[in-house]
Structure 1
Amino acid sequence: MTDHATRVIVLDVVGLQPDHVTEATAPNLTGVLEGVNALKPPFPALTVPVQTTLTTGQSPGEHGDVSSGEYDRETDEAAFWERDRADRHRLWETARTAGTTTGALFFQHLIGTDADIAVTPSPIEDEDNNLLEMDCWTNPDDLYETLRAEYGHFPLHRYWGPAADEHSSRWILDAASEAIDRVDPDLLWVYVPHLDYAGLRHGPGEELQAAVSTIDDCLGEFLDVLRASKRWNETVVNVVSEYGFHDVDTPVFPNRALRENGLLAVTDDGKGTAVDVPNSAAFAMVDHQVAHVYVDDRSPAVRRTLESLDGVETVLGKVGQAERNIDHPNTGDFVLVAEPDAWFQYYWWDDPEDAPPYATDMDIHAKPGFDPCELFGGTEGLVSLDPTKVGGSHGRSDVYGVYGLGGPMAPETSADGVVDARAVAPTITELLGITDSIPMSFSHPPVTECE
C-alpha cells in the first residue's frame, strides 16, 4: 500500500458551519470525519471567489475572481455566472498533468474543462432566455444521456428559485455515484448546494439546522456508495464549506442612492428602467454583503454618497483592498462591505413599475447583481420584489465554514482551530502525493502531515 491516498473525494457542502457537524444533526458526516475545523474563507466570501480559492490555493487578489459576476470596463456591462475560466486552472485540471484522473460536478465555470468526468447545467434557451429544453454539459459527451435515463432530467427549478430544495442535491450526489461507477477518478469534487437555500431564506436558525439533517441523509447514501467501492481503503474524504451565514434584516441599495444623488443615469423604454452605465458617474455591482463600485473621475462624491448609507460598514479604496487581498484589476474602484445584519440589493428604482422586466423573472444572467429574492415567489411575476423576505447573507468572511478529513487514508492533521481556505488545495495535493508533479504554486502550507 502507498503512503498516500490514491483517491480523494471533496464534498463542498456550501453553508455548513462547525456547530452543524454533531451526532444529533449530521450523524453521517460525523461518522466519516475524524474531526472538523473551522474554515476561514477568503474575502469576499462569495461563491465564485471562494470556489476558485479552494481549487487553486490563491486569494482573490491573485486569481482575479473577486465576485460571482464580472464587470467589463470596456463594454460597461456586468454579467453574472458567465466568466470564462481563462488561465485560472483549478486542481482538477492541473492534477491531470501528474497522471491523476479527475472529476468535477456542478462547480461554476465548468464548461470546457478537461476533467475526465464533469457535469454542469447548460439548459437550451431561446433569445429571451426562456427554457426550451433541460440539458447539461458533460465530459464525456454522452454522460447526460446516461444520467437522464437513470435519474430523469436534472431538476433545474429545484436547483435555484422559489422551488429550490434537496432534490437538486440528491440528483448531483446520484451523478457523483455514477462518476464513481463509470470513471472512478482519483480526485472528485462535488458541489452540494442544499444548505444555501435555507441559509439565504432564513439565516442561521432552526430552518438551516433542519436542512443540515436533510442533506446529511443524502450524503449518507453517497458515503455508502463509497464504502462499497473497491477503492474505499485508499480513500480520503474531504468535507469543505465555502462560508457561513449572518442573520440579516437590512437591505441596502447603493444604486438607488447613486441615482438619487445624480451619479447614476437610467434609460426608460416604456417597459422599465435600465442603467445607462456609460453616462453614469458610478455603478454598483452587488453580491450579497459586498458590492464593487466602478466610478469615473467624480469618485469623492461617490464615496461620500456610499459612506452615508445605513448598513454600509466600510468603503474600501485601494489600500483597504490590498489589506484584504482583493487588489486586482477586476476589483471595483471602491468595495462596499455591509454591516453584519445588512446586505446589498442591485435595485435602482423605488416604484416597482420602473423595474426592468427581468427583475421579477428567473434571469440570473441578465441581472447586474446577485438577487436572493429569486428564492421567493412573487405577486407580479415568478420571483419577489420584496427584499425584506431575505433572512440570511454572506460575503464579509467573518462567519466560518468547515474543513474536515475522514476515510481510511485520512492522516492526522497539524490544523489547530481555524484552517485558511488557501490551505485546501495544497492539502489535497499532499494527500495524493502529487505536489511536486503539478504546475501550481501555493501561498499557504497544507494542513496535513503525510508520512
Structure 2
Amino acid sequence: VALEQELGPFPFSSFWGPRAGLPSSEWIARASARVLRDEKPDLLLVYLPHLDYQPQRTGPSGCDMKTLVGELDRACQPLLEAIDATGAATWVVGEYGHTDASQPIYINQSLRRAGWLETRDGPYGEGLDTFGSRAFAVCDHQVAHVRVRDTADIPSVVEHLSGLDGVAEVLAGADRARVGLDHPRSGEVIAFSRANAWFAYPYWLESKRAPDFARTVDIHRKPGYDPCELFVDPAITFPMVKVARKLMARKLGFRALIDVIPLDASLVKGSHGLRATTDADRPVLIGSGPAPADEAVDATAVLPMLLGHWGLGK
C-alpha cells in the first residue's frame, strides 16, 4: 500500500497483455529502490520483464535490441542509485535468450484428432476435459509436458508426437532424466520443438468453438502459455473502442470479457525454452562475485554461487 501511495498503482496492463512494455519495469525498479533503501533486506529479488515482450512479438531479429536494452538501463537508474547508496552486492541473472520461432505446433489439436484428448461443450465454448482425456499437453514455449493417463499408451503417444512437423525430440520414462525432468510433476511424455517452432495450446478444431477465455488475457484458465496475449486481434477495426465499451458494461454490472486477443498463433515470431546452441542465444550472469568463468555457467549453479558469496556453502 505504501509503495502504491508513493508510486501510483502498479501498471498491470504493461506487465502482461497487448500493452506490455516499459512502464511495468520502471515501476518495479522504483519500488525495489525504495524497499532497498528503507527495509535493507538481506536478499531482494527483482524481476524486470521489459526484454521479454518484443522478442516474442517480432522475434529477436525483428527487434532493435540496442534500444530495448537502453530503455531498461535507464529504467534501472533509481535502483542502481539505491544499490550504490546501500553498498548492496548486485547480481544480474538472465533467465533465457529468445530465438526466432514462427512455426506454431498445435499439439493438443493433434492429440484430439488421434483420439486421446477429450473436450466438453459448455455455454462459453469447448472446455478441455483433463480427467476424460487419455493424453493432453500443457504447453510452455518450446517444451510441452504431456500427461498420459494410462502408462500403456505412452509408447503410442511418443510415436505420434515424434511424427509431428516441428517436433525435434520426445522423451518418456527414465529418458527424461537426461534433461533433469524425471520427477512426478513432469509430464509422462515431454516434447521439445525445433529451434524455429513452439507449442501452441489450442485444443479446439473450429474457431467458433473456442472457449471465451481464449480471446482474453487469462493465464489461469488456459492449459498452457499463450504468447498471443501480447497482441491485439488485427481483425478488430477499432480495438480501443471495443475495450471502452466492455469496460463500461462492466461498470454497469454486466459480464463483459475484454476479448481482443487473436487466435492466430502465426503472429508470434519469437520463443525460448530449448538449450541454447550459440553464445548469442544464451542469457548472461553479471555479478559482484564470482570471478569471470572461462566457460558457460549452468543455470543451476547460480544458487550455489550466491550462497558461496555469503559464505553459507551448501
- Partners of 2:111 and 2:83 lie apart in 1 by 53
Tell me which moved more, 335-344 or 267-276: 267-276
- Partners of 1:209 and 1:198 lie apart in 2 by 12
2:7 aligned to which of 151, 156, 162? 151
Amino acid at match of 1:196: D
- Partners of 2:122 and 2:17 lie apart in 1 by 27
Superposed CA offset, 1:392-415 (max 9, x none) = 10111213110012xxxx356152
DSSP 3-state at the match of 2:116: coil
- Partners of 2:134 and 2:310 lie apart in 1 by 50
2:190 aligned to which of 313, 335, 350? 335
Partners of 2:13 and 2:20 within 8 A in 1: yes
Aligned counterpart, 1:426:
304
Partners of 1:198 and 1:208 within 8 A in 2: no
For 1:187-206, what aligned pairs fall within 5 Å after superposition? 187-205=43-61, 206=63
| Cα offset, 1:208, TM superposition | 3.4
1:401 aligned to which of 274, 280, 283? 283
Superposed CA offset, 1:324-379 (max 9, x none) = 11110011111000000000011112321010111001111111111010000124
- Partners of 1:343 and 1:208 lie apart in 2 by 22
Q: Aligned pair 1:287/2:287, yes or no?
A: no
- Partners of 2:12 and 2:212 lie apart in 1 by 21
Distance 1:376 1:422, change over 3 A: same
TM-score by length of 1: 0.61
Structure 1 or 2: larger helix share?
2
Distance 1:196 1:411, change over 3 A: closer
Amino acid at match of 2:118: A
1:207 aligned to which of 32, 45, 64? 64
| Cα offset, 1:215, TM superposition | 0.4
2:79 aligned to which of 206, 222, 226? 222
| Cα offset, 1:190, TM superposition | 0.7
Superposed CA offset, 1:53-96 (max 9, x none) = xxxxxxxxxxxxxxxxxxxxxxxxxxxxxxxxxxxxxxxxxxxx
Amino acid at match of 1:334: V
| Cα offset, 1:186, TM superposition | 2.7
Distance 1:155 1:412, change over 3 A: closer
RCO (CA 8 Å, sep 6+): is it higher in 1 or 2?
1
DSSP 3-state at the match of 1:189: coil
DSSP 3-state at the match of 1:423: helix
Structure 2: runs of 5+ lacking an equivalent: 237-258
- Partners of 2:2 and 2:307 lie apart in 1 by 31
- Partners of 1:249 and 1:198 lie apart in 2 by 14
Partners of 2:158 and 2:172 within 8 A in 1: no
DSSP 3-state at the match of 2:80: helix
DSSP 3-state at the match of 2:92: strand
| Cα offset, 1:420, TM superposition | 1.2
Q: Aligned pair 1:347/2:202, yes or no?
A: yes
- Partners of 2:36 and 2:207 lie apart in 1 by 49
| Cα offset, 1:264, TM superposition | 1.1
Distance 1:332 1:161, change over 3 A: same
For 1:364-443, what aligned pairs fall within 5 Å after superposition? 364-378=219-233, 379=235, 381-398=259-276, 399-405=281-287, 410-411=288-289, 413=291, 415-435=293-313, 441=314
- Partners of 2:213 and 2:290 lie apart in 1 by 50
For 1:39-188, what aligned pairs fall within 5 Å after superposition? 145-188=1-44
Superposed CA offset, 1:93-134 (max 9, x none) = xxxxxxxxxxxxxxxxxxxxxxxxxxxxxxxxxxxxxxxxxx
- Partners of 1:361 and 1:411 lie apart in 2 by 43
Aligned counterpart, 1:95:
none
Aligned counterpart, 2:157:
302
Q: Aligned pair 1:258/2:111, yes or no?
A: yes
Q: Aligned pair 1:326/2:181, yes or no?
A: yes
Identity of aligned residues (%): 39
- Partners of 2:187 and 2:131 lie apart in 1 by 16
Amino acid at match of 1:404: I
Partners of 1:253 and 1:347 within 8 A in 2: yes
- Partners of 2:55 and 2:294 lie apart in 1 by 27
DSSP 3-state at the match of 1:188: coil
Tell me which moved more, 371-380 or 339-348: 371-380
Aligned counterpart, 2:241:
none
DSSP 3-state at the match of 2:169: strand
Structure 1 or 2: larger strand share?
1
Aligned counterpart, 1:271:
124
Distance 1:427 1:256, change over 3 A: same
Partners of 1:265 and 1:275 within 8 A in 2: yes
| Cα offset, 1:259, TM superposition | 0.8
Q: How many residues are paired up?
A: 284
